[in-house]
Amino acid sequence: MEVFGLFASIVPPQARLQVSSRFNQQHSQRHIVPDIVYSDPRCGGARRLLEVKTLGHTVAEHTAAALAQVGTRGAPRIRPVDRRAAKVGPEYVDHARTIDSALYAAGVPSPPAGAMGPAEQRLRSYDRIQPLVWGHLACGSDDVHQLVDVAGDAI
């Protein structure tokens, strides 16, 4: 179930219409909506945003060149699910910064130079964004396996 409204309170009521209309013109998704919010019992209840992604069997993800990516000195190759998982956190940060830009354009005061905007601050108030990526052959990213371990320990 997607978690709506986590970032809604950062948009003042007087700016909501302007921000919404700007996003309707520029973006298909105007809010940050994680799939799950959860507290990790192994980390003292640290709050995490979980984002579920799936990969189909696409040429871009499963070409010989993509599968043959090897690190220096024969380090193990990066699986497509882990490659996709690595992109989720930066995508969230970019989206938060875009929301902040829309807020400033709508008249919300900008923070001092070098400071984070309200959307990015809210995003970073969570311990981490944990991407749960499933591949077409039921393979899961490293975070999927970590979550399975947590669930197993809780049983």
- pLDDT of 30: 55
**For 84-143, how does the pLDDT look when each residue is reduced to its tens digit (9 = 90+)?**
999 999 999 998 998 888 888 878 888 888 889 999 999 999 999 999 999 887 789 999
**For 49-96, how does the pLDDT look when each residue is reduced to its tens digit (9 = 90+)?**
999 999 877 655 555 555 555 555 666 677 888 989 999 999 999 989
Indicate if the pLDDT at residue 28 is higher than 50: no
DSSP designation for 35: S
Greater pLDDT, 41 or 29: 41
Q: Are 42 and 129 in contact (CB under 8 A)?
A: no
Alpha carbons 152 and 146: distance in angstroms, whole number: 10
Alpha carbons 24 and 137: distance in angstroms, whole number: 36
Q: pLDDT category, 4, cuts 50, 70, 90?
A: confident
| pTM given for the model | 0.76
Residue 155 tokens, joined: 């049983």
Could you tell me which of 127, 116, 100 has the C-alpha nearest to residue 34? 127
Could you tell me which of 43, 40, 47, 55 has the C-alpha nearest to residue 151? 40
Alpha carbons 147 and 152: distance in angstroms, whole number: 8
Mean pLDDT of the chain: 79
Q: If you average pLDDT over residues 33-61, what whole number do you get?
A: 83
Q: If you average pLDDT over residues 39-58, what whole number do you get?
A: 85
